[in-house]
């Protein structure tokens, strides 16, 4: 059976003394093994990155930008190959995999503007003969720890900005679908990135801890669940590193009585069940304002769910694929099974759906009359389960969202501009959509939530990522005239 090894210094590496299984979620069959890096192997990769980073940072900005333009073209030309790798190990349908690649390309395009993004500021004559300017310099070596649900997009979110700023990257992808990251590393090098600037190490907690503890790693980016994000943040920050750790989500979509209910139902189904709900921006709670609105929405959503086609991601007819593992499928099913006992109404029970073969499939579920305090509401399920909460008013709906410990994304569906503008200001969530169910910002903006959805003070990709991956240096200069000589023991003054 194939062993997926690390990619260090431009070559395949790793003794593979410890390995983990890689499955095809559509069949349930193991398709490969992935090597788990030891602390020594991670340290070796970091040492390679330290040396390569010096060469990369010294490269002229225009030459560096050329790498990004070539990488963009390679991603476009090879998207079918990349999408097939994603679908084989993750399970999402090919159209969704290509959409993921497209969103990753946005960030490569943004980072290609690095000549502009890395400009500093300059002030002339702040005092007699004194000028001040700023420099943006790379952090050095950065760690990128990425989740299983977007094995191409999230690595591109992190690596594009980090590399643009002149850093080297140690990428630790999910061990569940690791092949895409190795493919990306090879494409970066084909685009002109010097070997060793982007290294891929696979593994489990041992590999992650080695990245977090290494004194040579100056910054860490992470995307995953809230408990792990908090742990990553605390451990890395404890070593003096910069950290951006994006955690979980419980995204609400509020539907007002005046909304286009057919459009809202379409949006809810798309945002709740796309990629089998394995998205940190998936809508998992539908908040209907008023019972009339709720009754109509539940009926419309259920009717649309009945038409969804679930099957292997390689089948062009499939709209939703399997979940990532058998264990995760069973965990998701457990939330639906326990919802009725908590007092909710299971309108559509996806756990009753039957599928041929041993793949990790589960049907879509719709649960009505959900309230805070129920597990189906409180926990991040990360699967195709949509809960419906009924609110009596706009104010109650907003209070519900603002009381939730997660604050990644939210959406409001309404035809009223005044309500929409009020919502933008009232809601305490990092990303907001108005009649847009998945408000993922374009590459020129930054992605990230509030509260327990983000640990650290910088959002991922976009302008905030350039700030995160660079250190600012302020330089004050004075060039005295040849004949000038002066001693002044007073405190420096700008007058």
Residues known to be catalytic: 280
Phi first, then psi, for residue 245 (nearest 5°) are -120, 105
Cα(93)–Cα(81) distance, integer angstroms: 14
Phi first, then psi, for residue 162 (nearest 5°) are -65, -45
Cα(393)–Cα(294) distance, integer angstroms: 12
Give the orientation angle of helix 179-190 with respect to helix 153-164, to 10 degrees. 40
Which has the closest alpha carbon to 370: 350, 400, 407, 334? 400
The pair of three-digit structure tokens given for residue 137, joined into one six-digit string: 């310099």
Cα(102)–Cα(83) distance, integer angstroms: 11
DSSP 399-465: HHHHHSSEESEEEEE-S-HHHHHHHHHH---SEEEES-SS-PPPTTS-B--EETTEESS--BSHHHH
Residues 271/437, Cβ–Cβ less than 8 Å: yes
Cα(166)–Cα(138) distance, integer angstroms: 5
- The Cα-based distances of 392 to 285, 289, 295, 297 in angstroms read 16, 6, 13, 15
Phi first, then psi, for residue 185 (nearest 5°) are -60, -40
Using DSSP, state whether 345 is helix, strand or coil. Answer: strand
**Size of the chain, expressed as the number of residues it contains:** 495
- The Cα-based distances of 249 to 2, 119, 212 in angstroms read 35, 35, 24
- Burial class of residue 123, CB neighbours in 10 A (0-12, 13-18, 19+): exposed
Cα(466)–Cα(470) distance, integer angstroms: 6
For residue 480, count other CB atoms closer than 10 A to its CB: 9
Cα(360)–Cα(381) distance, integer angstroms: 16
Strand arrangement of the beta sheet that strand 19-24 belongs to: 3-4, 29-35, 19-24
């Amino acid at each position: 059976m194939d062993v997926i090894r690390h990619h260090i210094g431009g070559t395949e590496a790793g003794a593979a003394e410890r390995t983990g299984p890689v499955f095809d979620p559509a069949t349930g069959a193991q398709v490969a093994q992935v090597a788990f890096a030891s602390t020594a192997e991670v340290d070796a990769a970091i040492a390679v990155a330290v040396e390569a980073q010096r060469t990369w940072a010294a490269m002229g900005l225009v030459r560096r930008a050329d790498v990004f333009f070539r990488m963009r073209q390679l991603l476009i030309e090879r998207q079918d190959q990349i999408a097939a790798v994603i679908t084989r190990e993750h399970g999402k349908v090919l159209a969704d995999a290509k959409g993921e690649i497209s969103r990753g390309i946005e960030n490569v395009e943004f980072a290609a503007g690095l000549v502009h993004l890395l400009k500093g500021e300059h002030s002339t004559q702040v005092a007699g003969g004194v000028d001040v300017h700023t420099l943006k310099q790379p952090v050095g070596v950065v760690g990128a720890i990425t989740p299983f649900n977007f094995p191409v997009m999230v690595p591109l979110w992190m690596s594009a900005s980090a590399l643009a700023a002149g850093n080297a990257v140690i990428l630790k992808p999910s061990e569940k679908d690791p092949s895409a990251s190795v493919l990306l590393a090879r494409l970066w090098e084909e685009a002109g990135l010097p070997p060793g600037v982007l290294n891929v190490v696979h593994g489990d907690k041992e590999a992650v801890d080695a990245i977090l503890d290494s004194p040579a790693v100056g910054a860490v980016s992470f995307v995953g669940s809230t408990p792990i994000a908090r742990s990553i943040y605390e451990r890395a920050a404890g070593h003096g590193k910069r950290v951006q750790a994006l955690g979980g989500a419980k995204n609400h979509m509020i539907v007002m009585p005046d909304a286009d209910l057919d459009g809202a139902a379409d949006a809810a189904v798309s945002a709740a069940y796309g990629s089998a709900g394995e998205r940190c921006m998936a809508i998992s709670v539908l908040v209907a304002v008023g019972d009339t609105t709720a009754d109509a929405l539940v009926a419309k959503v259920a009717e649309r769910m009945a038409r969804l086609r679930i099957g292997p991601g390689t089948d062009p007819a499939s709209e939703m694929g399997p979940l990532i593992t058998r264990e995760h499928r069973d965990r998701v099913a457990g939330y639906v099974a326990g919802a009725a006992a908590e007092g909710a109404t299971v309108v559509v029970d996806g756990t009753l759906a039957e599928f041929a073969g041993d793949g990790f499939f589960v049907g879509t579920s719709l649960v009505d009359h959900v309230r805070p305090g129920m597990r189906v509401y409180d926990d991040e399920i990360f699967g195709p389960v949509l809960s419906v909460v009924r609110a009596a008013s706009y104010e109650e709906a907003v209070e519900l969202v603002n009381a939730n410990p997660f604050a990644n994304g939210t959406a409001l569906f309404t035809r009223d501009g005044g309500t929409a503008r009020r919502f933008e200001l009232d809601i305490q969530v990092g990303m907001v959509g108005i009649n847009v169910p998945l408000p993922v910002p374009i590459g020129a903006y930054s992605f990230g939530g509030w509260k327990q959805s983000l640990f650290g003070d910088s959002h991922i990709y976009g302008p905030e990522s350039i700030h995160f991956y660079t250190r600012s240096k302020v330089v004050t200069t004075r060039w005295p005239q040849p004949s000038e000589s002066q001693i002044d023991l007073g405190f420096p003054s700008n007058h």
